Amino acid sequence: MSGAQYDITHPEQEMRALKFRTDGIEGSNSIIKFIKAAYDGNRDYVEFGIMQGFSPNVQNKYGDTALIAACAGNQPAIVRYLLRKGADPNFPNYDGTTPLMVASYYGNIEIVNLLLVAGADVNIKNELGTTALKAAEYKGCQECIKALKEAGAEA
């Protein structure tokens, strides 16, 4: 855990942990390039990374994985590919934020549904107590809220 300090009496502070930190994909090492490719939707490079032996759960300096990056970048084809290659839909970053929380925050119902089918746990909380449902409600994604509740998300 990062031990980041947030004022959780203000929802915008609580949700700040769900925003993808693009400085975690700046640089030239191959892991960073792999995660950035997922965020950008560069399927060729993501496939190349997997072929070169990268785990789909490899993490950057914040603990973000290629799956979290693809969720933040609204890249459903990359999400689908990474899940087929063994990406864990419940693998959190260092703040405890999961791909489902990120997809819910960014309001991508297609990705939310892909993660739910893959077994994402709807009731995991990050270190601030945020859940995927809370993120969807904060952003007002009604389709996401409905899907999460139907999957058993607790208010």
pLDDT, tens digit, 9 for 90 and up, residues 78-130: 999 999 999 999 999 999 999 999 999 999 999 999 999 999 999 999 998 99
6 lies in a domain?
no
Give the separation between CA 29 and CA 124, rounded to whole angstroms: 31
2 lies in a domain?
no
Give the separation between CA 66 and CA 31, rounded to whole angstroms: 9
107 lies in a domain?
yes
For 9-28, write each residue's pLDDT tens digit: 445 555 555 555 555 555 55
Question: For tokens 């965020």, what's the residue?
Answer: 39
Instruction: For 77-146, give the secondary structure using H, E and C.
Output: HHHHHHHHCCCCCCCCCCCCCCHHHHHHHHCCHHHHHHHHHCCCCCCCCCCCCCCHHHHHHHHCCHHHHH
For 37-63, write each residue's pLDDT tens digit: 999 999 999 999 999 999 999 998 889
110 lies in a domain?
yes
1 lies in a domain?
no
Give the separation between CA 20 and CA 75, rounded to whole angstroms: 14
CATH code of the domain covering residue 78:
1.25.40.20
30 lies in a domain?
yes
* Count of structural domains within the chain: 1
Full-model pTM: 0.84
Q: What domain range includes position 107?
A: 11-150
87 lies in a domain?
yes
Please give the distance of CA 143 from its chain centroid, rounded to a whole number: 18
Give the separation between CA 40 and CA 74, rounded to whole angstroms: 9
Averaged confidence pLDDT in the chain: 86
155 lies in a domain?
no
